[in-house]
Structure 1
Amino acid sequence: MPVFAYQDHKQSLPDEGPHFGYSFLPSLLFVALLWLISFLSYLTGANLTFLGIMPRNFLGLIGVFFGPLIHGDLLHLLSNTFPVVLLSGFILYMHRKVALKVSVLIYLLSGLLTWLVGRQAYHIGASGLVYGFAGFLLFNGFLRQNRGAMAVSLAVLFLYSGLFYGLFPNEERVSWEGHLAGLAAGLVAAIVYGEGNPKPTNQPLEPSVVQRHMSSTVGPHYQHMHITYSVHPNQPTVNYTYTLSSNHTLPKKSTKPG
């Protein structure tokens, strides 16, 4: 007679496809806002640079909130669009519980650090966020020594190794201070909110009898019997030995420790 090892789960493994895709929805909406602002600025001819970060100027603190939303030209906007979507989407996918906190911390801290150390000029654009998101994914892997997080860190190094070029004062119009501030904010976020791959938790079953149905082929290859069994929640894994019958009622069983 067959022996069935039974371990119940509240639900089957989720389909990771929709989960992965939906993780990029917030970043797509954010990027859509960036494009809308740039489009309206182009249509109206409005110069929104004054909304950027002006370091060590009290009124310049407004740029902490609005500076990442403003871009100088189309090339500037394009260079930030894909990295923002990709990196923030991966943060939401892999660190769903802390993704919002990480994003808010990077957004505000990168702006404040730029305000503290930047040159006396308006600092605009979402590149500080790009460096912050990349920094979080990079440092989180090395700090946690988790294989999954380390793999993401190496992927970030491979895909965005060119970002390190922007950490140095190579071009007058490039805010390397904002890039450095974003990377520092990513490090702080990794220290405060970083985590390895989330471990599966054993969720308690609902307080009702759990019904399961399965088909099993036993004896001769043509003998196909339907087995129905019931188990109560919060019960340890047990091996059940069933005496099979050809009807569809619950068969008698004897138990022995698993």
Structure 2
Amino acid sequence: MSGSDMDRGGWSRGPVDAEQMIAEARKAFFVMFAFLAVVWLLQLANYADDYAFSRDHGVVAGDVTSLPGILSAPFLHWSWAHIESNSGPLFVFGFLAAYRGVVRFLGLSLLVALTSGLVVWFFERGDADTVGASGLIFGYFGYVVVRGIFDRHLIDTLIGVVMAASFAYMLTVAVPGTPGVSWLGHLGGLIGGLAGAWLFRDRRPRPAARSGSGSGSGSGSGTGTPALPQNPANPRADLHKELGDLGLL
């Protein structure tokens, strides 16, 4: 990472190479598209077999033989209404979780599936087969909301604030009281997403900021817009740089 990517002790300014970010976003799009395609193809087969997949490969609390279902349950659903309600949020939050790096996203997905499934396995009551992608949805949601804080990245922090304000109502089904819904699976997924934001945070070293040089460091002349000072002591320097990269300054 170059000196222009990260100020010492400050917020990440994001990758200088916009093409790299676009390439990662493109990969994230196709990963989520493929994920949803697999989920819907399995739903077709599941429906044709009277939902035998959901009965045989879900998570049953306390049943040791159902532990492998922790990895298969997120791909399965109990009805068309079930999969339809999950598909939109799964794609949106999955894409936002993946667009900074698909490899990190795959690790996050495994972690969330494990925490969601294990919470159901340990604490759910009854012998119902629990399936569905909602645990992943809650995990991706929690990850997106706090990722920017742990990565010290302004744009991701703003995305997190917007998502938290827009979808805070989702948390109402992560607490007891909604009939027919595994709130424990939702809560376990949310815990996994929050933990993943910390575990998969950006650990790259932060080099010292480059001092301003060239014509941008002077008073500015001619018809060009003078460059904003990049003094690390200026608390708004990183914000100015982010806005400038977005073309807002």
Tell me, yes or no, whether TM beats 0.5: yes
Deviation digits for residues 80-125 of structure 1, max 9, x if unmatched?
1111111121222124452222122112222122212222222110
d(CA) in 1 for partners of 2:94, 2:157: 17
| SS of residue matched to 1:54 | coil
Q: Equivalent of 1:33, from 32, 38, 44?
A: 38
Aligned residues: 190
Whichever residue aligns with residue 35 of structure 2, its letter is F
Closer, same or farther: CA 196–157 of 1 in aligned 2, 3 Å: farther
Q: What residue is the counterpart of 1:245 in the other structure? A: none
The answer to whether the aligner puts 1:42 opposite 2:44 as a matched pair is: no
Q: What residue is the counterpart of 1:91 in the other structure? A: 97
| SS of residue matched to 1:149 | helix
Q: Equivalent of 2:170, from 163, 178, 181?
A: 163
Q: What residue is the counterpart of 2:70 in the other structure? A: 64
The answer to whether the aligner puts 1:104 opposite 2:130 as a matched pair is: no
Kindly name which structure, 1 or 2, has the bigger radius of gyration based on alpha carbons.
Answer: 1
Identity among equivalent positions (%) equals 25
> Structure 1 segments of 4 or more deviating over 4 A?
15-19, 196-200
- Larger fraction in helix: 2
d(CA) in 2 for partners of 1:69, 1:117: 21
Gaps of 5+ in 1: 1-10, 201-258
| SS of residue matched to 1:134 | helix
Q: TM-score, normalised by structure 1?
A: 0.66
The answer to whether the aligner puts 1:177 opposite 2:210 as a matched pair is: no
Contact 2:146/2:194, CA 8 A, preserved across alignment:
yes
Closer, same or farther: CA 168–72 of 1 in aligned 2, 3 Å: same
Q: What residue is the counterpart of 2:122 in the other structure? A: 116
- The answer to which structure, 1 or 2, has the higher relative contact order (CA under 8 A, 6+ apart) is 2
- Larger fraction in strand: 1
d(CA) in 2 for partners of 1:174, 1:152: 28
Contact 1:95/1:195, CA 8 A, preserved across alignment:
no
